[in-house]
Amino acid sequence: MTAVPIDGKTLALRVREEISEDVAAYGDPVCLATILVGDDPASHVYVGSKHKASHEAGIDSRDHRLPADAPQSEVLDLIAALNADDGVDGILVQLPLPGHMDEPTVLRAVDPAKDVDGFHPLNAGLLYLDQPALTPATPSGVMVMLDEYGVELHGKEAVVIGRSEIVGKPMAMMLLARHATVTICHSRTQDLAQHTRRADVLVAAVGRRALVTPDMVKPGATVIDVAMVRTDEGLFGDVDPGVWEVAGLMTPVPGGVGPMTIAMLLRNTLTAAQRRRTAVATSGS
Ligand code: NAP
C-alpha cells in the first residue's frame, strides 16, 4: 500500500484564491503589519513570503524591521502604535525574537483583535473554551486539510506529538473540539510508539527528522507531518519516508502543511478586519 498524498500546495492555492475573492468582496482595504527583529535568515524568508502572499490576495502589508539589539521597549512601542492604528487589521511578530526579549510579554502586547497568529492568551483561552476567535495558522491549516480529504475525527484516536503553543497544544484542542480522543506526546513521553500505533490520525510536530518510523504507524492511518527540518540535503519532516508504505493518507514535506500555514494567516487577517469593523460599527451605533 502507498499512502495518498495530501496535496497542501494545491489546496493552499485554492484557499488563497477564495481569500482574494473574499477580500475583493469585502471592499475596504485589509492590512497586515509584520514586525521582524534581527537578521535570522529563515525569518527573513518567512516574512518575505507572508508579504508576497498578502499582496497576491489583495491584502496590504506593512513591513517593520528592527535591529537585533533593539530594546524590547521599542518593539512594545511599535506594537502599541499598530494597535492604535485603525488602518492595521492584523499584527504579526515574527518568532523567534532575540534572546534579550521576553516573547510572552511581547506577544501579550498585541491587541487580541489584531492577533492574526492567535498566540495572545485571550485567543488561546477562547480556543480552549471552544469559542475560537483567531486561531494559530498551522493547526488551522491542518484542520482544513483533514476536512478536504474527508478524514473522520468523531470518536477517532488522534495522537499529537509536540506540545508547543504554536502547533501541538492548539492542534490538540482543535481535534478535541471535533470529538477525537486526543493524546498529546512530548519529549518526556515514555514509549512513544505505543501511543502513535493507536492513532487513526497522527500529527507530528517535533522537528526531528525521521522520528516517526513505519513500525510506529497504524496501517491506513492519516499522518500529518508538520515539521520542517532544514538540512544541506533539503527540507525534511518528522516522518520517515518508509511511512508512505503504511499510512492511508499523508502530507509530504515540502508541499504539505507549510503552504497551508500562510493561507490560514491570510484568512485570519481578513477575519480580523471583518470582526473589528463589525465591532466598531456596533459600538458606534
Ligand atoms: P517546538 O516549540 O520546538 O516544540 C517541539 C515539541 O516536540 C516539544 O513539545 C517537545 O517536547 C517535543 N519533542 C521534542 N523531542 C521529542 C521526542 N523525541 N519525542 C516526542 N516529542 C518530542 O517546535 P514547534 O514550534 O511546535 O514546531 C515543531 C516543528 O514544526 C518544527 O520542525 C517547526 O519547524 C515546524 N513548524 C512548521 C510549520 C509549518 O508551517 N509547516 C509551522 C510551525 C512549525 P517538550 O515540550 O517536552 O520539550
Q: Over the stretch 81-133, which tens digit does the pLDDT of each residue have?
A: 999 999 999 999 999 999 999 999 999 999 999 999 999 999 999 999 999 88
pLDDT of 284 = 62
- DSSP characters for 151-173? ---TT-EEEEE---TTTHHHHHH
Residue ranges of alpha helices (H) inside 185-256 are 192-196
Q: How far is CA 190 from CA 172, 184, 213, in A?
A: 19, 12, 16
pLDDT of 276 = 84
Mean pLDDT value across the chain = 96
Regarding whether 160 and 82 lie in a shared domain, the answer is no
Range of the domain at 36: 26-111
Regarding whether 146 and 227 lie in a shared domain, the answer is yes
Is-cis flag, bond preceding 132, omega within 30? no
Measured from the Cβ of residue 67, the count of other Cβ atoms closer than 10 Å reads: 10
In a domain, 165, yes or no: yes
pLDDT band at residue 1 under the 50/70/90 scheme: confident
Question: How far, in Å, CA of 174 to CA of 25, rounded?
Answer: 29
Regarding whether 233 and 150 lie in a shared domain, the answer is yes
Residue 235 DSSP code: E
Nearest-CA residue for ligand 1 atom 2 is 164
Nearest to 229 by CA among 42, 80, 45: 42
* Among candidate residues 76, 111, 146, the one where a domain is terminated: 111
In a domain, 103, yes or no: yes
Question: How far, in Å, CA of 113 to CA of 144, rounded?
Answer: 22
pLDDT of 266 = 98
Regarding whether 201 and 161 lie in a shared domain, the answer is yes
In a domain, 198, yes or no: yes
In a domain, 125, yes or no: no
Regarding whether 153 and 62 lie in a shared domain, the answer is no
pLDDT tens string 223-248: 999 999 999 999 999 999 999 999 99
Strand partners, 64: 35
Percent of the chain with pLDDT over 90: 95
The CATH number assigned to the domain holding 83 equals 3.40.50.10860
Residues in the ligand 1 pocket, defined by CB under 6 Å = 138, 161-164, 166-168, 185-189, 192, 205-208, 211, 226-229, 257-258, 261
pLDDT of 206 = 98
Q: Give the mean pLDDT of 245-269.
A: 97
Regarding whether 43 and 84 lie in a shared domain, the answer is yes
Q: Let me know: does 151 contact 199? Beta carbons within 8 Å.
A: no
- If you search the block for the grid coordinates 518508509, which residue do you land on? 242
Active site positions, annotated: 50, 94, 117
Give the pTM: 0.96
pLDDT tens string 58-86: 999 999 999 999 999 999 999 999 999 99
pLDDT of 279 = 77
What is the Cα gyration radius of the chain?
Answer: 19
Amino acid present at 188: R
In a domain, 277, yes or no: no
pLDDT tens string 176-190: 999 999 999 999 999
The CATH number assigned to the domain holding 225 equals 3.40.50.720
The region of weakest confidence among 30-34, 55-59, 273-277 is 273-277
In a domain, 234, yes or no: yes
Per the structure, the count of domains in the chain is: 2
Residue 115 DSSP code: B
Regarding whether 234 and 140 lie in a shared domain, the answer is yes
Regarding whether 147 and 107 lie in a shared domain, the answer is no
Regarding whether 246 and 140 lie in a shared domain, the answer is yes
Q: Give the mean pLDDT of 18-45.
A: 96
* Among candidate residues 111, 127, 147, the one where a domain is terminated: 111
Nearest-CA residue for ligand 1 atom 30 is 227
pLDDT of 277 = 79
Regarding whether 150 and 42 lie in a shared domain, the answer is no
**Which atom of ligand 1 lies at the shortest distance from residue 229's CA?**
32
Question: How far, in Å, CA of 159 to CA of 198, rounded?
Answer: 8
Q: Residue 18: which residues within 8 A CB-CB, separation 6 or more?
A: none
* Ligand 1 pocket test target in 46, 47, 49, 167 with most atoms within 8 Å of CB: 167
Regarding whether 180 and 98 lie in a shared domain, the answer is no
pLDDT of 65 = 98
In a domain, 49, yes or no: yes
**Which atom of ligand 1 lies at the shortest distance from residue 260's CA?**
40
Regarding whether 158 and 104 lie in a shared domain, the answer is no
- If you search the block for the grid coordinates 484542520, which residue do you land on? 143
In a domain, 84, yes or no: yes
